Chain A
Amino acid sequence: MTEPLLEVRDLRVGFQTEEGLLTAVDDVAFTLESGKMMGLVGESGCGKSVTARTLMRLLEQPSGRVLKGEVLLEGRDVLTLPLEAMRRIRGKEIAMIFQEPMTALNPVHRVGRQIVENILLHQEIGANAALKRAVELMEWVGIPAPDERINDYPHQLSGGMRQRVMIAMALSCNPKILIADEPTTALDVTVQAQILDLIKRLQKDTGMAVILITHDLGVVAETCDDVAVMYAGRIVERGPVETVFRSPQHPYTKGLMGCLPRLDHPPKTMLPIIPGMVPGLRDLPDGCRFAARCPNPHGDEVLTERQPWKDCGGGHGVEACACFAKTL
């Protein structure tokens, strides 16, 4: 078997707070092949962004700690690399785009200069060549009249155009992996469709892998090859998008899919709901973290022991809580 592009093994990340060490990501594991798009979905606080930031070594300091695990990029563990070496990877081999391009872009610099900065940092070319490359990149991501827009400041661009600038910047060094953290959440649906289409097209052109972090199951269903569903710091289910959406196994995945309002359902009918709310990081059970909200009845052992991971075949796997494991 060939080595995967990215392999995350037993990653555990915590934050040192006044109330002690809180674990935000608990034994997360997945692999990403090149040319694939993986969706990481879950509700706020489930640890999806913390996972992404850990891959980039951008954890909030000094409180953020990697407690355990490895992140292997083509076999090298990026978590143990010296900072200098990490700086060469960040932006060049793994690039990231964020939810709110207005806060991710520097408001007092022209967008062209911000794209050029990244090129000059990672590639040995002259300033003029870098500028030319920036214009090409802007054209590539669908910014009209790029040789004029390159002199604009971020506030002169619309939200969709700003996100395109972010993407141009992220792709300037042909990264192997693009991490997109809620890239379309701040955008209108019609602009969201444009940006998702753009990311897919660029992925096809370059063969890069994409990790798409989102809370929107619709976005995952329409764009991703694989999906990992996170709940309270753990991946509870993962697999190919078609399989997971056709036959979700974990009660949380099922609940999440069931509670979406759908256009083809009759209006003004009650939605199936997941009762209660996501537990806080302070009072997480050791066992199945979904137990308190789960419709299935539980035994006590479910709450005290971590439930085993079960492979369902075809790359589909699930944290098989005793409450439903018999039916697998």
Chain B
Amino acid sequence: MHYPVRGGVFRRTRQVCKAVDGVSFALEEGETLGLVGESGCGKSTVAKSVVRLLKPTAGNIVFEGQDITKSGAGDLRRFRREMQMVFQDPAESLNPRHTIGQILEEPFVIQKLGTTAERGEWSADLLRRVGLPEDARNRYPFEFSGGQRQRIGIARALALKPRLIVCDEPVSALDVSVQAQVLNLLLELQQDFKLAYLFIAHDLSVVQHMSDRVAVMYLGKIVELAPAVELYRNPRHAYTKALLDAIPEADPSRRRERRLLKGDVPSPINPPEGCAFGHRMSHPRWQESVGMDLRLRELAPGHWVQPCPCCVG
């Protein structure tokens, strides 16, 4: 996914922002793929491209064997029954002027499903399913706490019985005790409805907890992709190691000297050639990665790593 960055008098394209560059992955039924990385690494852009809220510059998105990359509005409406999204900020993704009932019935209205009575019944079912009282239907979003609003967001995503839900930072605005409740709800729903999740968060411990496999993104590229346990036990890419190292652990007996990363996440406008992380670390072998084929390689069964000499020893 590339964005033109325009400038000058005639708004010519001066630079290209490569928000996401050469990302590939597959997701099975009932599986959770976690996507983790720091702000600006392109995780949300991937999320929006998958459900086609954005149109990728190049590449394909294939859903159940059908290429939806170039689909028009009509086709997409059909696919959106199957794929839904849960957003980070439930306060901003729920219309403040609609009652919860209206919000939950809107997917049925758009898809022309059911009668008014049926829609009401369905929305009541949805509320029960996510642990909210039925009478919530007549109330407005502001009457609910952050955690409850996120439950409403999840209920709306469930309305059309999708097979894939893209969760973009679903718990990062929530307090820890509420976060645990929402994570448990997502796990239950996945088991009950055989949902696949693309689960995006910046918090590696949350992603690790929710996922079968985890992909680590850095500056628009996936640098490592592995089963969750394997990634934690045996990280191969230097960036994954740095990310794991930076997580504060809630256990003072395991306090340790951390290896601190220097500098900030660089801008995706004109990213460096070769391995971007090796470049940030001024690694002596970074130069070797320029011009190399940096597509992921399978180093162990299911464990894919960007094979740059600077970050993978």
Task: Please list the residues of chain A having a beta carbon within 8 angstroms of any beta carbon in chain B.
Answer: 43-44, 158-161, 188-194, 196-197, 215-223, 241-242, 245-246, 255-257, 259-275, 277-278
Q: Are A197 and B258 in contact (CB under 8 A)?
A: yes
Q: Are B210 and A217 in contact (CB under 8 A)?
A: no
CB nearest to A158 among chain B residues: B264
Q: Are A188 and B39 in contact (CB under 8 A)?
A: yes
Q: Are A193 and B178 in contact (CB under 8 A)?
A: no
B202: contacting residue among A189, A193, A220, A267, CB under 8 A? A189
A-B complex: 10 closest residue pairs judged by Cβ atoms: A218-B248, A261-B209, A259-B180, A43-B175, A188-B38, A193-B246, A217-B250, A274-B177, A271-B180, A222-B248
* CB contact list, B180-210 vs A, under 8 A: 180-181, 183-184, 187, 202-206, 208-210
Q: Are A246 and B205 in contact (CB under 8 A)?
A: no
- CB contacts (< 8 Å) of A190 on chain B: these are 38, 242-243, 246, 260-261, 265
Separation of A276 and B244 alpha carbons in the complex (Å): 32
Q: Can you offer 5 A-B residue contacts whose CB atoms are under 8 A? A: A189-B203, A190-B260, A255-B177, A261-B206, A270-B184
Q: Nearest-CB distance from B266 to chain A (Å)?
A: 10
Q: Are A268 and B32 in contact (CB under 8 A)?
A: yes
Q: Is B147 interfacial (CB-CB < 8 Å)? A: yes
Q: Are A262 and B205 in contact (CB under 8 A)?
A: yes
A189-B204 contact in complex given A194-B261, A221-B255, A260-B176, C-beta closer than 8 Å = yes
Q: Are A273 and B252 in contact (CB under 8 A)?
A: no
Q: Are A271 and B261 in contact (CB under 8 A)?
A: no
Contact string, B138-165, partner A, CB cutoff 8 A, digits 1/0?
Answer: 0000000101100000000000000000
Separation of A285 and B137 alpha carbons in the complex (Å): 29
A189: contacting residue among B183, B228, B229, B247, CB under 8 A? B247
Q: Nearest-CB distance from B243 to chain A (Å)?
A: 7
Q: Are A189 and B246 in contact (CB under 8 A)?
A: yes
Q: Is B211 interfacial (CB-CB < 8 Å)? A: yes
Task: Please list the residues of chain B having a beta carbon within 8 angstroms of any beta carbon in chain A.
Answer: 32, 38-39, 145, 147-148, 175-181, 183-184, 187, 202-206, 208-212, 228-229, 232, 242-253, 255, 258, 260-261, 264-265
- CB contacts (< 8 Å) of B176 on chain A: these are 43, 215, 217, 256, 259-260
Q: Are A219 and B205 in contact (CB under 8 A)?
A: no
Q: Are A221 and B249 in contact (CB under 8 A)?
A: yes
Q: Are B251 and A245 in contact (CB under 8 A)?
A: yes
- CB contacts (< 8 Å) of B260 on chain A: these are 190, 193-194, 197
Q: Nearest-CB distance from B149 to chain A (Å)?
A: 12
Separation of A44 and B147 alpha carbons in the complex (Å): 12
A260-B205 contact in complex given A219-B248, A271-B180, A273-B184, C-beta closer than 8 Å = yes
A245: contacting residue among B147, B211, B250, CB under 8 A? B250
A43: contacting residue among B177, B184, B246, B253, CB under 8 A? B177
A160-B264 contact in complex given A218-B248, A261-B206, C-beta closer than 8 Å = yes
Separation of A24 and B114 alpha carbons in the complex (Å): 47
- CB contacts (< 8 Å) of A221 on chain B: these are 248-252, 255
Separation of A221 and B206 alpha carbons in the complex (Å): 18
Q: Are B208 and A267 in contact (CB under 8 A)?
A: yes
Q: Are A267 and B210 in contact (CB under 8 A)?
A: yes
Q: Are A222 and B242 in contact (CB under 8 A)?
A: no
Separation of A268 and B191 alpha carbons in the complex (Å): 10
Q: Are B180 and A267 in contact (CB under 8 A)?
A: no
A222: contacting residue among B204, B205, B210, B252, CB under 8 A? B252
- CB contacts (< 8 Å) of B248 on chain A: these are 192-193, 196, 216, 218-219, 221-223
CB nearest to B41 among chain A residues: A188
Q: Nearest-CB distance from A86 to chain B (Å)?
A: 33
Separation of A218 and B256 alpha carbons in the complex (Å): 13
B250: contacting residue among A242, A260, A267, A278, CB under 8 A? A260
Separation of A216 and B228 alpha carbons in the complex (Å): 23
B184: contacting residue among A197, A260, A271, A277, CB under 8 A? A271
Q: Nearest-CB distance from A164 to chain B (Å)?
A: 11
Separation of A265 and B228 alpha carbons in the complex (Å): 11
Q: Are B204 and A263 in contact (CB under 8 A)?
A: yes
Contacts beyond the supplied A193-B248, A262-B250, A268-B212: 5 A-B pairs with Cβ under 8 Å: A188-B38, A246-B252, A257-B250, A259-B177, A278-B177
CB nearest to A245 among chain B residues: B252
Separation of A255 and B208 alpha carbons in the complex (Å): 21
Separation of A158 and B262 alpha carbons in the complex (Å): 13
Q: Are B253 and A246 in contact (CB under 8 A)?
A: yes
Separation of A239 and B181 alpha carbons in the complex (Å): 28
Q: Are A273 and B181 in contact (CB under 8 A)?
A: yes
- CB contacts (< 8 Å) of A274 on chain B: these are 177, 180
CB nearest to B183 among chain A residues: A271
A271-B258 contact in complex given A221-B249, A263-B247, C-beta closer than 8 Å = no
Q: Are B177 and A261 in contact (CB under 8 A)?
A: no
- CB contacts (< 8 Å) of B228 on chain A: these are 267
- CB contacts (< 8 Å) of A278 on chain B: these are 175, 177
- CB contacts (< 8 Å) of B32 on chain A: these are 268
Separation of A44 and B173 alpha carbons in the complex (Å): 11
Q: Nearest-CB distance from A156 to chain B (Å)?
A: 13
A265-B209 contact in complex given A194-B260, A197-B258, A242-B253, C-beta closer than 8 Å = yes
- CB contacts (< 8 Å) of A191 on chain B: these are 38, 264
A215-B210 contact in complex given A221-B250, A271-B180, A272-B180, C-beta closer than 8 Å = no
Q: Are B175 and A270 in contact (CB under 8 A)?
A: no
- CB contacts (< 8 Å) of B232 on chain A: these are 263-264
Interface centre among A44, A188, A218, A256 (most CB of B within 10 A): A188
CB nearest to A270 among chain B residues: B184
CB nearest to A184 among chain B residues: B248
- CB contacts (< 8 Å) of A197 on chain B: these are 258, 260
CB nearest to B178 among chain A residues: A277
- CB contacts (< 8 Å) of B178 on chain A: these are 43, 277
A273-B250 contact in complex given A193-B258, A263-B244, A268-B212, C-beta closer than 8 Å = no
